[in-house]
């Protein structure tokens, strides 16, 4: 097992770090440190284009589609340096980490050539149309319908919690295309342009003041027959593969961001004296241990030869990092004490650590809740009997 990076990988790290440093202390200095998903969208769109022009946008993709053929280790290194440099959160995270890999895995050559380069160039942003009011954990219960009319698919229904739809150009939609079908059968995975009369995006305002996600309505929306990934009725397989990308490899590199957050908690504890509290000290040390364990776990996954080994380990990874970060959010707010309840500015002027607390509540929900992850580990990793499924209506 190799717990570290080779000299070539370290050289790659130096190249990436130098480029990021140049951009983020130069033309994009104003974006440094932005972690909010919704802040400065126009400037972050420009940043996506800049990344694309320098071919740093989707480095794991084949060169033919705008990537660099980067190895998994190089992708992790780039993401680490990205966080270390304080680069802004990716406005096209869903296009780059979810839609793109799924198109690579399931798309025809025509679809790859048409859809991937605009993502790599930072020109087309994507969002995820999975959840509905009665289809979250039970995603197979989706009610959104689609049917063929001439050369188009026509779509009717409603999605909810669609992150960043207000900035997106495309949405991938899990829709029922076989009338009368139930559960995972009869679903299709459709790619739909947002800017059309049949699609309405309505932002949902959160307690943070942000409107990070939306309700998305499809009222006779249309997409070309060519915009289906996989075969009609096979959408479940595509949708599950995408969730594998969402829960697994794409999150391996987050730890540099976590390091920054834990360091901010430690700085605050030292500054306000909370670090003298024996229980806070215990929790800080525990957080440090958890972070190091995740780091070694990630390095082990990287040295595991890729493919199935990464996927099996990744089943446990989502629940591990999400629970760790939620605890870090709780620690942050306890370190702040009463100050954590007071806004730092007008309106929703939350500080960095209060924001960490609020956002980290979502980590154990999106991409599959902790309970759902445990079911998946029980069934797929441990071979336990499937969860009993009664008719819950």
Ligand X SMILES: Cc1cc2nc3c(=O)[nH]c(=O)nc-3n(C[C@H](O)[C@H](O)[C@H](O)COP(=O)(O)OP(=O)(O)OC[C@H]3O[C@@H](n4cnc5c(N)ncnc54)[C@H](O)[C@@H]3O)c2cc1C
Q: Which of 275, 365, 377, 378 binds ligand X (CB under 6 A)?
A: 365
CB 138 to ligand X: min, Å:
6
Q: How far is the CB of 389 from ligand X (least distance, A)?
A: 8
> Active-site residue among 246, 288, 341, 387?
246
Nearest to 152 by CA among 93, 227, 237: 227
Give the residue from 161, 128, 167, 126 showing the smallest Cα distance to 41: 167
Answer for which of 92, 102, 124, 131 binds ligand X (CB under 6 A) is 131
H-run or E-run covering 200: strand 199-204
Cβ neighbours, 10 Å, residue 333: 19
Tokens of 54: 């320098």
Q: Tell me the two tokens of residue 298.
A: 């990630």
CB 176 within 8 A of CB 140: no
Q: Could you give the dihedral angle defined by the CA atoms of residues 174, 175, 177 and 180, in that order, rounded to the nearest 10 degrees?
A: 120
Residue 362 interacts with ligand X (CB under 6 A): yes or no: yes
Residue nearer to ligand X on the CB measure, 73 or 221: 221
For residue 219, which phi and psi values (nearest 5 degrees)?
-125, 85
CB of 12 to ligand X, least distance (A): 31
| Token pair 């969860």 in the structure block, residue | 387
Q: Which residues pair with 154 in a beta bridge?
A: 147, 222
Tell me whether residue 246 is one of the annotated catalytic residues. Answer: yes
Least distance to ligand X, CB of residue 192, Å: 13
* Binding residues for ligand X, total number by CB under 6 A: 20
> Quick one: which H or E segment has residue 148?
strand 145-149
Residue 372 in the binding site for ligand X (CB under 6 A):
yes
Which residues, at least 6 apart from 3, have a Cβ–Cβ distance to it below 8 Å?
296, 299, 300, 303
Pattern 55-94, binding to ligand X, x per CB under 6 A? ----------------------------------------
Q: Which of residues 196-225 bind ligand X (CB under 6 A)?
A: 213
Asked if 141 is part of the footprint of ligand X (rule: CB under 6 A), the reply reads no
Nearer to ligand X, 94 or 274 (CB): 94
Nearer to ligand X, 162 or 251 (CB): 162
366 scored as a contact of ligand X (CB under 6 A):
yes
The 10 Å CB-count burial string (b at 16+, else e) for 78-106 is bbbbbbbbbbbbbbbbbbbbbbbbbbbeb
Q: Does 136 bind ligand X (CB under 6 A)?
A: yes
Q: Which stretch binds ligand X (CB under 6 A): 155-163, 232-240, 282-290, 303-311?
A: 155-163
Quick one: which segment of 11-19, 71-79, 158-166, 272-280 binds ligand X (CB under 6 A)?
Answer: 158-166
Q: Pick the stretch among 28-36, 55-63, 177-185, 359-367 that binds ligand X (CB under 6 A).
A: 359-367
At closest approach, how far in Å is the CB of 299 from ligand X? Answer: 28
- Positions in 282-341 near ligand X (CB under 6 A): none
Q: Does 255 bind ligand X (CB under 6 A)?
A: no
Find the binder of ligand X among 375, 377, 378, 379 (CB under 6 A).
Answer: 375
CB nearer to ligand X: give 136 or 184. Answer: 136
For residues 263 and 321, give the distance between their C-alpha atoms in angstroms, rounded to a whole number.
17
Q: Is 187 exposed, middle or buried (0-12, 13-18, 19+ CB in 10 A)?
A: buried
Answer yes or no whether residue 369 interacts with ligand X by CB under 6 A: yes
> What crossing angle do the helices spanning 7-25 and 72-84 adopt, rounded to 10°?
40
Closest to ligand X by CB, 347 or 388: 388
Nearest to 73 by CA among 299, 293, 229: 299
The residue ranges that bind ligand X (CB under 6 A) are: 127-131, 136-137, 159, 161-163, 213, 362, 365-366, 369, 371-372, 375, 387
As annotated, the active-site residues are 246
């Amino acid at each position: 097992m190799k717990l570290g990076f080779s000299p070539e990988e370290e050289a790659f790290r130096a190249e990436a770090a130098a480029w990021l440093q140049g951009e983020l202390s130069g033309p994009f200095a104003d974006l440094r440190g932005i972690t909010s998903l919704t802040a400065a969208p126009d400037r972050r769109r420009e940043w996506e284009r800049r990344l694309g022009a320098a071919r740093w946008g989707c480095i794991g993709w084949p060169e033919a589609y705008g990537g660099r053929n980067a190895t998994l280790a190089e992708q992790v290194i780039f993401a680490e340096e990205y966080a270390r440099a304080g680069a802004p959160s990716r406005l096209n995270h869903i296009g780059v980490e979810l839609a793109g890999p799924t198109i690579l895995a399931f798309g025809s050559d025509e679809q790859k050539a048409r859809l991937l380069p605009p993502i790599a160039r930072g020109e087309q942003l994507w969002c995820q149309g999975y959840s509905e009011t009665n289809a979250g954990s039970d995603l197979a219960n989706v009610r959104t319908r689609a049917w063929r009319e001439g050369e188009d698919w026509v779509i009717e229904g409603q999605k909810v919690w669609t992150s960043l739809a207000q900035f997106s150009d495309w949405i991938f939609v899990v829709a029922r295309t076989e009338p009368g079908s139930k559960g995972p059968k009869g679903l299709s995975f459709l790619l739909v342009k947002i800017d059309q009369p049949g699609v309405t995006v309505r932002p949902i305002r959160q307690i943070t003041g942000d409107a990070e996600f939306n309700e998305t309505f499809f009222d006779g929306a249309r997409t070309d027959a060519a915009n289906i990934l996989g075969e009609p009725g096979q959408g479940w397989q595509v949708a599950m593969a995408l969730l594998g990308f969402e829960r697994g490899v794409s999150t391996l590199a987050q730890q540099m961001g976590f390091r920054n957050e834990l360091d901010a908690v430690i700085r605050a504890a030292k500054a306000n004296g909370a670090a003298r509290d024996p229980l806070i000290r215990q929790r800080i040390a525990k957080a440090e241990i958890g972070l190091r364990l995740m780091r070694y776990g990630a390095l082990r996954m990287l040295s595991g030869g890729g493919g199935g080994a990464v996927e099996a380990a990744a089943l446990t990874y989502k629940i591990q990092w999400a629970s760790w970060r939620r605890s870090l959010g709780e620690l942050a707010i306890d370190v702040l004490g009463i100050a954590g309840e007071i806004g730092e500015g007008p309106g929703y002027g939350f500080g960095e650590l209060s924001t960490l607390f609020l956002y980290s509540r979502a980590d154990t929900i999106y991409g599959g809740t902790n309970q759902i992850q445990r079911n998946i580990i029980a069934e797929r990793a441990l071979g336990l009997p499937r969860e009993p499924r009664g008719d819950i209506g």
